[in-house]
Amino acid sequence: MGNLNEIFDLGRKTLSDVERRLDMSRRDYLQFCATLAVTMGLPSGSEAAVAKAIESAKRPSVIWLHFQECTGCTESLLRAEHPTLEKLILDVISLDYHETLMAAAGHQAEAARKDAMTANKGKYVLVVEGAIPVKDNGIFCKIGGHTAVDLVKECAADAAAVIAIGSCASWGGMPSTGPNPTGASSVAEVLGKPVVTIPGCPPNPYNFLATVVHFLTFGKLPDVDKLGRPKFAYSRLIHENCERRAHFDAGRFAMEFGDAGHRQGYCLYKLGCKGPETYGNCSTLGFGDAGENNWPVGCGHPCIGCTEKGVGFTKPIHQVAKMLNVAPPLQYARIVEEQGKGASFASAAALAALAGAAAGAAVMLTRNLGLSHAAQEAQAAQADGQAKDQAKV
């Protein structure tokens, strides 16, 4: 996919610029590109193409819209540490409109959005954070005098790609929970066409980063599943790679918060963990660059299924999950099962007496049934004989 020696020639001005801008050594930069390539499921050698794209590709203009959400997706991005957001994300993309991060406000902010859309028509990336209310003509969310419905349609019309980040934008999320008074809907539902979705509450920032870098490297978005989720991040059940999976297979479960099993890291299935029915890479890619255990299950709380439509914010948090690939027995034996006592002579004798009585009753029943049948045959023969005698007379 590329020549590493050519790309990482120490004399190249572009590499020096990257090291200066990102405050990363050549080695760290290569490791970062390799990690992104592996995350996206690309073949060996792809890190060269990723590095070259980041170094030389024209930064795509990004317009980031906020609607019904808590800004948690943006907060998650701000906590990316290798490298930090301002040293990489804002260097890889040209973030021309973001209501939370931009300095401009009011008319200046709206002018920046329109200018970016005009200057990059057909080339910019639209990122939507938050659900879109559609009830009562969308009056529940307005920005600059325009409803969220009108804004997303206007911005998506000339976008090269549309990315829904977070569960709210991906499928409605928490705002769409019944009775859903505002008619909170997903980006795809409002636009009437499929979009790339990166669900999670919040999603891992590197899932978004890898999606953008894939677009930079190959000029297209990564392969997605039927729900629009990138397959490199949402193709496996969380349960399959969970660090507590061994306890599940062995039948070791925490039965309540704070019990001995919970303190020892046992499986949280019986406390309502939705990992067995939720697709995501949370169990393999920790949050906040604080280690792989830095996610809900690693911290001792069941997965709530926030990346899965129909699970997160729909099913009760502590309701037992539906197993999609492995069905455990209804009752596991305890770790130390109590041993039963042997039967005493008296109980064995009583059991034998009962068995003998049952056997004797069966014999008598059979015998009585036989006698009854014989009696019926005799009565039938006698009646037949009487009928013949009357016929002779």
Which residues, 6 or more positions from 256, have their beta carbon under 8 angstroms from its beta carbon? 262, 271
Mean pLDDT of 132-157: 94
State residue 212's pLDDT score: 83
State residue 374's pLDDT score: 55
Greater confidence, 40 or 244?
A: 244
Q: What is the band of 3 on the pLDDT scale with cuts at 50, 70, 90?
A: very low
Q: What is the band of 347 on the pLDDT scale with cuts at 50, 70, 90?
A: low
Q: Give the model confidence (pLDDT) of 321-333 as tens digits.
A: 888 876 555 555 5
Q: What is the band of 4 on the pLDDT scale with cuts at 50, 70, 90?
A: very low
Per cent of the chain over pLDDT 70 is: 67
**Shared domain check, 241 and 120:** no
Q: Give the model confidence (pLDDT) of 298-322 as tens digits.
A: 889 999 999 999 999 999 988 998 8
pLDDT score of 114 more than 70: yes
When the pLDDT of each residue in the chain is averaged and rounded to a whole number, the result is 80
* Distance (Å, whole) CA 93 – CA 53: 12
**Shared domain check, 155 and 266:** no
Q: What is the band of 356 on the pLDDT scale with cuts at 50, 70, 90?
A: low
Region class of 173: left (phi > 0), else alpha (psi between -120 and 50), else beta: left
* Distance (Å, whole) CA 129 – CA 353: 76
Host domain of residue 81: 59-194
CATH number of the domain at 102, please: 3.40.50.700
State residue 201's pLDDT score: 93
Can you point out the beta strands (E) in the chain? 61-66, 94-98, 125-129, 132-133, 142-143, 146-147, 161-165, 184-185, 196-198
Which residues, 6 or more positions from 73, have their beta carbon under 8 angstroms from its beta carbon? 129, 165, 166, 200, 202, 203
**Per-residue CA distances from 294 to 34, 151, 283, 288, 340 (Å):** 22, 36, 9, 7, 43
**Shared domain check, 262 and 177:** no
pLDDT score of 143 more than 80: yes
Q: Give the model confidence (pLDDT) of 56-94 as tens digits.
A: 556 778 899 999 999 999 888 887 766 566 665 566 777
Residue 11 placed within a domain: no
**Shared domain check, 182 and 70:** yes
State residue 8's pLDDT score: 40
**Closest C-alpha among 127, 122, 126, 132 to residue 187:** 132
Mean pLDDT of 41-64: 70
Mean pLDDT of 264-290: 89
State residue 300's pLDDT score: 92
Mean pLDDT of 178-201: 94
pLDDT score of 377 more than 80: no
* Distance (Å, whole) CA 154 – CA 148: 10
Residue 371 placed within a domain: no
pLDDT score of 126 more than 90: yes
Mean pLDDT of 290-301: 82
Judge whether 131 and 67 are in contact, CB under 8 Å.
yes
**Shared domain check, 244 and 181:** no
Mean pLDDT of 205-209: 86
Residue 141 placed within a domain: yes
Mean pLDDT of 252-263: 94
CATH number of the domain at 270, please: 4.10.480.10
Question: How many domains, the chain?
Answer: 2
